Structure 1
Amino acid sequence: MLLIIVILVLLYIFRADLGFGSKGTNINVPDKIDVNVNHS
């Protein structure tokens, strides 16, 4: 259980370094998903 938490924290910290945060995909993708769910 602890290992899973540590991995999630590391992914959250390093996602910007991996390019996910800087491109804004983490913000845009959930918005698109929410819009699709609402329309359907």
Structure 2
Amino acid sequence: MSSHYNEKPSRLLDLPRELRDEIYEYALDFHRYRTEL
């Protein structure tokens, strides 16, 4: 069970560029929404 903790969190960098951009844009929109409150 502890084998999961050995995985590096940097696996996000292995995502396809399109998916990464999608997540990045979603994060930007989310940040914009929070700052407008």
Q: Which TM-score band applies after superposition, normalised by the shorter structure?
A: 0.5 to 0.7
The number of residue pairs the alignment matches comes to 36
Gaps of 5+ in 2: none
Q: What's the TM-score once normalised by structure 1's chain length?
A: 0.52
Percentage of matched positions with identical amino acids: 0
RMSD: 2.7
Q: Output the CA distance in 2 between the equivalents of 1:6 and 1:26.
A: 21
Q: What's the TM-score once normalised by structure 2's chain length?
A: 0.55
Larger Rg: 2
1:20 has 2:37 as partner? no
Gaps of 5+ in 1: none
The one-letter code of the counterpart of 2:26 is: V
